[in-house]
Copies of this chain bind each other. A is one copy, B any other.
């Protein structure tokens, strides 16, 4: 992990008051170390720590992704019943889901324009609108 990635991870944790433990710094650096947004599964992130020669138990990856989400650093995205995806971008925005690869990416928010939305039933308000554009290989 580069010094810059580490610093970004450190600031990221500090911004919400999470203790900068070794494991959290490893995960944070992998997630926001280059300033790009990431979409990870617990298994995938755990594999990434091994690639980076860092040691974090799988249980801690699960607990930490949950902690990051609870702290508002990430959001869980539900696109596939069998796995949880976590996104470092926390605003309400559309996603591409590549059905064959099981990969998730951001879609350009500016390209999505919802002219009208179904009216919520009496007594309810819209918490969030999830838009998932499911893709398949062309041809």
Q: Which of B111, B115, B119 contacts A118 (CB 8 A)?
A: B111
In the assembled complex, the Cα of A131 lies from the Cα of B132 at a distance in Å of 7
Q: In the assembled complex, which residues on chain B have CB atoms less than 8 Å from the CB atom of A138?
A: 123-125
CB distance from A118 to the nearest CB of B (A): 4
- The reply to whether A113 and B112 form a contact with Cβ atoms under 8 Å apart is no
- The reply to whether A137 and B123 form a contact with Cβ atoms under 8 Å apart is yes
In the assembled complex, the Cα of A121 lies from the Cα of B96 at a distance in Å of 9
Q: Which of B79, B116, B127, B133 contacts A129 (CB 8 A)?
A: B133
Given A78-B79, A132-B129, answer yes or no on A114-B115 (Cβ-Cβ < 8 Å).
Answer: yes
- The reply to whether A133 and B118 form a contact with Cβ atoms under 8 Å apart is yes
Instruction: Kindly report which residue of chain B lies nearest to residue A132, judged by CB atoms.
Output: B130
Mark A residues whose CB is within 8 Å of B: 76, 78-81, 83-84, 94, 96, 98-99, 107-108, 111-121, 123-138
Q: Contacts A78-B79, A129-B131, A130-B131 known; list 19 others, CB within 8 Å.
A: A99-B127, A108-B119, A111-B118, A111-B119, A112-B116, A112-B117, A115-B115, A117-B133, A120-B133, A121-B135, A123-B137, A124-B138, A125-B137, A125-B138, A126-B133, A126-B134, A127-B134, A128-B134, A130-B132
